[in-house]
Chains A and B, each alone.
Chain A
Amino acid sequence: MQIDYEFIRRALPDIARYIPVTLKLVVVSFLISFPIGALFAWINYKKVKGLSQVVKAYMSLIRGTPVVLQIYVIYNVTPYILASIFEKMGSEINVYRLDTTWYAYLALSLSSTVTIAEALRAGLETVNKGQFEAGLSVGLSAKQALWHIVFPQALTTAMPVIGNVTVELTKATSLAFIMAVTEITGRAKIIGGSVLRYFEAYICVFILYILIIAVLEQLLKLLERKISVYRTGKHNYMSVKAI
């Protein structure tokens, strides 16, 4: 097989123009799944009656199904449901003209929400109850103690897993093409298909994913080091790992 290097040279910048679409998918999906995941973590940690069961059912449903299937369901079923709801309400909104990117955000957040929820719940469980009580003892409200003391520590513990979630999410954006969102994989398929140079087009996205994720990993490493500085200490003096 002959590799058309000239095609790669021309296709690479063309596909790279869609990197912002990929990044936007990652960022928005993450911004949806993180707060919801945090809320779910809290519900499960506190074992809130009723809600906790609902969250657990949701989590096993999502964990038990492949992402591709979730995407099909979201992309094909949700518009019908929305359309019939709007119709009943007598609304004029045409669901079928909604930007499909929104379905992509929704579909991609489903599974990251679950993983983030589990990671944060585990994180919350590692924070000693005394930390919370100490917060109360200096006059903080329960909410303030959570926000300033408990949650940051839980996040530090959960950070490696959350970093993984972000990387997984980045790779999962390649599925957005199923929902007619043109990001880098989608673009590669289009231009590869136009001249039947799929192999070269895939080499291009391969390179781009490697690069994006390499940068992402460095950023995550920096962030992780920054938020966990309290565990190692700044002074290298008598520093032992905080419990």
Chain B
Amino acid sequence: MLSVKDVYKSFGDNQVLKGVSFDVGEGDVVAVLGASGSGKTTLLRCLEFFEHADKGSMELDGLTVDLTTHSGKLTKQIRQKTAFVFQNYNLFNNKTALENVMLGLTVARKINKAKAKETAVAALTKVGLKDRLDYYPCELSGGQQQRVGIARALAVNPKIIYFDEPTSALDPELVGEVLDTIKQLAREGTTMVVVTHEMSFARDVATKVIYMDDGVILEQGKPDKIFTRPDNERTRKFLARYLQDFDYNI
């Protein structure tokens, strides 16, 4: 359903993406792993046109787009099919939880208010925040804010949701509630690409794991395979470091 081809991106002299290609099928949950600075976030940002790639193309739901395009119309068309969950939530500060979820429906998609509200309330109920509809982001905890972020992404009924390290900014005790929400979406067959450092999440929930290193995809495949028998020495080292951490965390 999503097919990304040959993405290159550099910031000045620093080449961050050096030819990244991958496919995502309908209902797939793709976990993108890799050390900091390996280009995971930049990759997602290029797919949502927050950054303009130097080279590369994507096909999403039958629509093929050059990732270097500056065309407002094309990018808007793609963004109407996608949703993005940010590392630091980025809820609209001046809107309540309900308004946050409704805005993409009423303003971007011209859905009438009553219908939009119904959809928004349903999305917020799904993430367990039915009783926080008229709360502003400053009145919500990090975990609640991120769940509103997920509801906001869900409400627009996207073909695919990108998660950019959705739990990295959270206090450890709040990580669980957000991961549980994402897990629930996975069970329901939502197509997702999740950049994450949560190894156990990747291992248990993902249908496909991509390991990135230094701007390229070193290895991709089923989580079983990547976590137990990685082909690449560097993947093995990276995972060993994380899995070792788990031993200490018991």
Q: Give A residues with C-beta under 8 Å from B.
A: 128, 130-131, 133-142, 144, 148-149, 152-153, 156, 229-235, 237-243
Contacts and interface: CB of A to CB of B under 8 A. Distances in A.
Residue among A139, A229, A240 with most chain B CB within 10 A: A139
Interface of B: 48-50, 72, 75-76, 79-80, 82-84, 86, 88, 90-96, 103-104, 107-109, 134-141, 152-153, 156
Given A230-B138, A231-B138, A139 B95 contact: no
A237 B139 contact: yes
A137 B136 contact: no
Contacts of B137: 230, 242
20 contacts: A130-B86, A133-B48, A136-B50, A137-B83, A137-B84, A138-B83, A138-B108, A140-B103, A140-B107, A142-B72, A149-B92, A152-B94, A153-B94, A230-B95, A230-B136, A230-B138, A237-B139, A240-B138, A242-B93, A242-B136
A231 B92 CA distance: 12
- Which residue among B76, B80, B88, B107 has the maximum number of chain A CB atoms within 10 Å of its CB? B107
Contact of B104 (A130, A140, A153, A240): A140
Contacts of B153: 137-138
A111 to B, nearest CB: 29
Given A148-B103, A238-B139, A141 B72 contact: yes
A139 B135 CA distance: 23
A131 B108 contact: no
B163 to A, nearest CB: 12
Contacts of B80: 139
Contacts of A235: 135, 139
Contacts, number: 102
A99 to B, nearest CB: 40
Contacts of A137: 48, 79, 82-84, 86, 153
Nearest to A139: B108
Contact of A139 (B92, B93, B104): B104
Given A142-B72, A144-B107, A136 B139 contact: no
- Across chains A and B, which 10 residue pairs bring their CB atoms closest together, nearest first? A138-B104, A139-B108, A137-B84, A242-B138, A130-B90, A134-B90, A233-B139, A230-B136, A139-B80, A230-B94
A153 B93 contact: yes
A241 B50 CA distance: 28
A156 B72 CA distance: 28
Contacts of B72: 141-142
Given A131-B90, A232-B138, 13 more contacts: A131-B92, A134-B90, A134-B91, A134-B92, A139-B79, A140-B108, A141-B108, A148-B92, A148-B107, A149-B94, A153-B93, A233-B135, A234-B136
A148 to B, nearest CB: 6
Nearest to B137: A242
Contacts of A149: 92, 94-95, 103
A234 B54 CA distance: 46
B93 A131 contact: yes
A130 B88 contact: yes
A133 B50 contact: yes
Contact of B79 (A131, A136, A241): A136
B35 to A, nearest CB: 23
Among A137, A231, A243, chain B packs the most CB atoms within 10 A around the CB of: A137
A122 to B, nearest CB: 17
B104 A238 contact: no
A93 to B, nearest CB: 42
Contacts of A240: 138
Nearest to B101: A138
Contacts of B82: 137
